[in-house]
Amino acid sequence: MGQFGNQPDFATNDIKQINPSDNIEQSTFLNGSIIYIGDNSAGGDMIVIPAGAVGESVITGFVSPGFAGSRGTGYEDARFNIDTIGGSGTGLTVNFTAVDGAVQTVAVNTAGTGYLNGDLITIDPQGADPGVGATFRIEATVGPPTGKEGVFFKGLQAGGFLPVTVDYVLATKGLAPNQEITTVDSLIAAR
């Protein structure tokens, strides 16, 4: 238990004053800090990205699943901005090269959204023989958090601690005219 009832113990060698920012970058990264609220005269609201939150997957490449015919047949030598079918997401288009009608290399043209590591996608044959689409497995990594992962806390008390550890304190959430904003002041991060 901390110095005061219901207050956490934390290291005193990593304390710093912070200002809310919509920049999600190394300079605003709080690395799982506890946030002390010094003032809430403007309303007591705060938007944070909780520690460990991640954004959508980022496609890093494609691999052939290795079964016979997985590279398809009837494709032209090179095509650009070609639709794909399948996977968890929507909107992925690719560029590819083909040799003797079989797809050899695949690259992202438009990444789309919602795709996950391991998803199988088929490159739309567009003129290739029916039913012989090239199939590839998506390789993806976890992307950085964005404002979409922000959590809004309302009615926070001055002199208290936010009930979760955070990686970022955001200034705003969303772009709508009535967007939520962080209104607490004198914030201190500690680990």
Chain segment 152-168, per-residue pLDDT in tens: 998 888 888 899 999 99
| DSSP structure class, residue 69 | T
| pTM, full prediction | 0.70
Mean pLDDT of the chain: 86
Q: What is the mean pLDDT of residues 41-50?
A: 84
- Pairing mode of beta strands 160-161, 46-50: unpaired
d(Cα 120, Cα 93) in Å, to the nearest integer? 14
Q: Contact, 117 vs 57, CB < 8 A?
A: yes
Which pLDDT does position 2 carry in this prediction?
46
Length of the chain: 191
Q: What is the mean pLDDT of residues 19-41?
A: 90
Give the model confidence (pLDDT) of 105-154 as tens digits.
999 999 999 999 999 999 987 755 555 789 999 999 998 898 888 899 98
Name, in order, each residue with C-beta under 8 angstroms of 4's C-beta and a sequence gap of 6 or more.
none
97 bridge partner residues: 78, 105
Place 177 in a pLDDT band, splitting at 50, 70 and 90: low
Which pLDDT does position 1 carry in this prediction?
38
Three-class secondary structure of residue 187 per DSSP: strand
d(Cα 92, Cα 112) in Å, to the nearest integer? 4
